[in-house]
Amino acid sequence: MDDLTHKLGSLRHKLEPSWGRARSQRAFHAIERRRRQRRARTRAFAGMCGLAAALGLGLGWWHVRTPQLGASRVAGERPSRLAPQVADREPASLKQAASPNDVAGARAVLSPNARAAAPAVNAETFGSSAPSTRQARSRALRVPIAGAMLRAGQRGRLADGSIAEVSGEGSGLLVQVNEPDHVALQLASGAARFEVVPNPSRQFTVMADGVQVIVVGTVFSVERAGERVRVAVEHGAVRVQSVVGEARIEAGEARWFDGKKPHTARSHEPSEPSTVLEPAPSEAPVESEPAVAPRVTRATTEPADAEAWMDAAEAARLGHRPEAAAAHLRRVLRDHPGDAVAPLAAFTLGRVLLENLGRPVEAAEAFAQARKLAPDAAIAEDALAREVEAWSKAGRSENASERAQQFIERFPSSRRTRVVKSYGGLSLQ
Amino acid sequence: MAPSSAPLRLAPTEGEDVHPLIELSDAEFFERFSGFVASIGTRLLGRSADVDDLVQEVFIAAFRKRHQLQEPNATRGWLAVVTVRTARRQLRRRRLRQFVGLDAFVPPLELPDHALSPDDHALMSRVYFILDHMSVDDRLAWTLRHVEGEKLEDVALRCGCSLATVKRRIAAAHAHLLAEMDGG
């Protein structure tokens, strides 16, 4: 690495903006303002479109009803696939007016949505192992967005028209990017099958444990088993990039990768169904065990700032360790009370204490602290509402009622009013 | 009250009976991740003045789609992709303004006073000045790799291109940078 990149690496942690609470609040208010303006513009535009549509319908109705202009049209006739037959039956008068063939021809130009759907029909007929059209239609296709996870038994239609199908209990396919010209998927666990629409200008990749599969247009499967990844191609070809290098897998081939080096199928591999395709029997199986990937050791140094403690708390939450999460959040509040994330730390601590540790009194105190740290921020409303809930669940009806009254006075038009009144024991009228 | 045995998660799963107080509000989501987006944005754009705009555009887009996120630990990665895309648009607009002469005065990299020494600040200002006059795609790939410290695979994902393309862009940007730094 040359001196410049080495220097940049050492300076990276200093290239931070001064993103304090005030600046954050200003930005959030600006976002709210822009969203309101956008909603108002959308409503105005929708109103204009509605008006234009109504005007167009009115003119069309008048046009049809006017005898001298509508004489050649059959009342109620709709342009359809029967257009050629209609033209044959009434050649003279029909050809003088706008021919239904013109309309039928116009309808034959696929809309983008129809165009995207058309390849999916072709994809359903790929290969003998593809599900039948009736079976495919019987299972609804989801349309995932970036960040969505497809689970076992789910099928997703991607933005480019390709289809991803996740199989096997415990399987998970993360959709990282889902755009018409770029699809990036990550196989977190288990196996998935892909029917990819051919499109050389689109980027389509599947990542599995460090093994990247690059696709142009094909039908293939990717499966994770332990620390290895299996790629099998039914139609077309794929390129696979792993740490060692690049490999090309053709139709009818299947290959295992362990993320370190590619190797061919071995004789003691788990037995495969007969429809799965393997390398030619003449290839000698590799008997030696694959190299074990070195384990990444966890960092033992403690986080240095509030943000890092928040990350540690979130990791503990997601790892079902609420006690650890609570400890990390208390650390943020103890060591960084003035940090921009402190109100959120208090709020999150309240949630962990209430929802996962069953300590509603402490939770109520944490929510109260969140409000105290950011009395004018948007989070104050949520914090007060949760405090009411916590006092109610702690059996402290007087506290719950008093906080509920405060909430209603301070946030009279909140969408949480009904729930807060319920927890606070106030009349719902 | 017995502790809940439900798994800890940020967003409700499909089909779950959602309690309105459990889901993360837009304000919470913004407070949680705005700093992260602002940090990436600062390093990609090189100008603090543009970061507020970038943060707003990223979260306006994020608020529309975030409720469909099913994996909380994918949020940062997803936001990073949105941020890079938004930064690309802003940088292209900046290049256009430069081309027509509307961006003659380039404000310096604004950071808290104690962040960089004068020498380091001068170095970073020079680097970002050179980046401002480079292809936007090359600049983004290089910045993600050498300033953000991302792995090549992640850089390719954020930039929406193949590994080979990303390597080529980074190499081109790096060579240009070194040539300008040596000649300057």
CB contact under 8 A, B65 and A146: yes
Per the CB < 8 A criterion, the answer to whether A221 and A193 are in contact is: yes
- Inter-chain CB proximity A30 and B32 less than 8 Å: no
Considering only CB atoms, A356 lies closest to which of B4, B36, B38, namely B4
Judged by average pLDDT, the poorest of A230-244, A345-359, B32-46, B67-81 is B67-81
Nearest Cα of chain B lies from the Cα of A319 at a distance, in angstroms, of 8
Whether B167 and B142 have beta carbons less than 8 Å apart is answered as no
Looking at residue A381, its pLDDT comes to: 87
pLDDT at A141: 74
- Cβ-defined contact of B8 to A212 (cutoff 8 Å): no
CB A319 within 8 A of CB B9: no
What is the chain A residue with the closest CA to B114? A14
Instruction: Please tell me the predicted confidence (pLDDT) of residue B38.
Output: 92
Q: Using an 8 Å Cβ cutoff, are A256 and A264 in contact?
A: yes
Q: Tell me the shortest Cα–Cα distance from A292 to chain B, in angstroms.
A: 22
Q: Does A383 touch chain B (CB under 8 A)?
A: no
* pLDDT interval class at A8 (50, 70, 90): confident
Closest partner CB to A318 (pick from B55, B73, B174): B73
**Would you state the pLDDT for residue B109?**
60
Region A53-67: mean pLDDT is 85
Q: What is the DSSP letter of B4?
A: P
User: Do B8 and A317 make contact, defined as CB atoms within 8 angstroms?
Assistant: yes
d(CA B87, CA B74): 20
Q: Residue A213: helix, strand or coil by DSSP? A: strand
Q: Give whole-number Cα distances, A179 to A184, A203, A217, A346, B153, in Å.
A: 9, 9, 16, 38, 18
Return all residues near A394 (Cβ < 8 A) that are at least 6 apart: A360, A361, A364, B1
Share of chain A above pLDDT 90, in %: 17
Q: In this predicted structure, what is the pLDDT of residue A230?
A: 87
What was the pLDDT predicted at A164? 92
pLDDT at B169: 93
How confident is residue A54, by pLDDT bands cut at 50, 70 and 90? very high
- Determine the pLDDT at residue A13: 74
Q: At A241, which helix (H) or strand (E)?
A: strand A237-241
Rg value, chain A, Cα = 31
Per the model's pLDDT, the better-predicted residue between B175 and A308 turns out to be B175
Is the pLDDT reported for residue A68 higher than 60?
no
Average of pLDDT values for B82-108? 77
Q: What is the mean pLDDT of residues A104-124?
A: 39
* Per-residue model confidence (pLDDT) at position B69: 65
What is the predicted pLDDT for the residue at B178?
A: 86
Yes or no, beta carbons of B71 and A174 under 8 Å apart: yes
Residue of A nearest to B4 (CA): A356
Determine, for residues A343 and B78 on separate chains, whether the beta-carbon distance falls below 8 Å: no
Q: What percentage of chain B's residues is helix, strand, coil (to nearest 5)?
A: 70, 0, 30
Tell me which residue in A5, A184, A344 faces B146 most closely, judged by beta carbons.
Answer: A5
Compute the average pLDDT of residues A355-379.
89
As a whole number, mean pLDDT of residues B151-175 equals 91
Q: Is the predicted pLDDT of residue A299 greater than 70, yes or no?
A: no
pLDDT at A121: 36
pLDDT at A302: 56
CB contacts, 8 Å: B162 with chain A: 203, 205, 214
A364, pLDDT greater than 90 = yes
A145 interfaces chain B, CB cutoff of 8 Å: yes
Paired tokens of B154:
């992640």
Q: Please tell me the predicted confidence (pLDDT) of residue A170.
A: 82
A271 touches chain B (CB under 8 A): no
CA A352 – CA A362 distance, rounded (Å) = 10
Contact A131, A155 (CB under 8 A): no
Higher confidence at residue A18 or residue A122?
A18
Residue A66 predicted with pLDDT over 80: no
Any idea which of A247-256, A269-278, A389-398 has the lowest mean pLDDT?
Answer: A269-278
A119/A91 Cα distance (integer angstroms): 36
Name the band, by pLDDT with cuts 50, 70 and 90, for residue A408. very high
| Angstrom distance (rounded) from CA A164 to CA A179 | 14
* d(CA A53, nearest CA chain B) in Å: 27
Would an 8 Å CB–CB cutoff place A146 in contact with chain B? Answer: yes
Q: Does A195 touch chain B (CB under 8 A)?
A: no
How far away is chain B from the Cα of A27, in angstroms, using its nearest Cα?
Answer: 6
Q: Is the pLDDT of residue A405 over 90?
A: yes
Query: Mean of the per-residue pLDDT values for chain A?
Result: 74
Instruction: Please say if the pLDDT value at position A338 is more than 50.
Output: yes
| Interface size, chain A vs chain B, as Cβ–Cβ contacts under 8 Å | 192
Cα(B94)–Cα(A83) distance, integer angstroms: 53
Rounded to whole angstroms, the Cα distance separating A16 from A13 reads 7
Query: Would the pLDDT of B131 be above 80?
Result: yes
| Mean of pLDDT values over A317-346 | 87
| Rounded Cα–Cα distance for residues A334 and A342 (Å) | 9
Section A370-399 average pLDDT: 89
In the predicted model, is pLDDT for residue B144 greater than 90?
A: yes
- Confidence band (pLDDT; 50, 70, 90) for A249? confident
pLDDT at A192: 92
Q: Does residue B170 register a pLDDT over 90?
A: yes
Instruction: Check: CB of residue B31 under 8 Å from CB of residue B59.
Output: no
Chain B residue with minimal CA distance to A360? B1
How close is the nearest chain B Cα to the Cα of A139, in Å?
17
pLDDT of residue A330: 93
pLDDT category at A214 given cuts 50, 70, 90 is confident
For residue A199, the surrounding DSSP H or E stretch is none
Q: How far apart are CA A193 and CA A171, in angstroms?
A: 11
Interface subset of A 92-131, CB within 8 angstroms of B: none
Which range (A41-50, A58-67, A262-271, A314-323) has the least confidence?
A262-271
Helix (H) or strand (E) run with residue A240 in it: strand A237-241
Q: In a 10 Å sphere around its CB, with 0-12 CB exposed, 13-18 middle and 19+ buried, how is residue A345 labelled?
A: buried
**Contacting residues of B for A350, CB less than 8 Å apart:** none
Angle between helical axes of B26-45 and A21-65 (0-180°, round to 10): 100
Of A51-60, A130-139, A176-185, B34-43, the least confident: A130-139
Residue A181: list chain B partners with CB under 8 A: 160
- pLDDT score of A124: 38
- Asked if the Cβ–Cβ distance from B1 to A147 is below 8 Å, we say no
Question: CA of A424 to nearest chain B CA: how many angstroms apart?
Answer: 14
The CA R_g of chain B, rounded to the nearest whole Å, is 19
Query: In the predicted model, what is the mean pLDDT of residues A404-419?
Result: 88
Q: Tell me whether A377 touches chain B (CB under 8 Å).
A: yes
The answer to whether residue A274 scores a pLDDT higher than 50 is no
Q: What are phi and psi for residue A237, nearest 5 degrees?
A: -155, 155
pLDDT given for residue A240 in this prediction: 87
Residue A245 has pLDDT above 50, yes or no: yes
Residue with the bigger pLDDT between B32 and B169: it is B169
Contacts of B147 in chain A (CB under 8 A): 8, 12, 15
- Mean pLDDT in chain B? 77
DSSP letters, A136-193, are HHHSPPB-PPTT-EEETT-EEE-TTS-EEEEEEEEEEEEEEEEETTEEEEEEEEEEEE
Torsion over CA of A324, B24, A26 and B143, rounded to 10 degrees? 70
Q: Which one of B78, B116, B145 would you mutate to disrupt binding with A, by most A Cβ within 10 Å of its Cβ?
A: B78
Q: Report, as an integer, the average pLDDT of A46-71.
A: 82
The shortest CB-CB distance from B116 to any of A11, A212, A322 is to A11
- What's the pLDDT at A300? 43
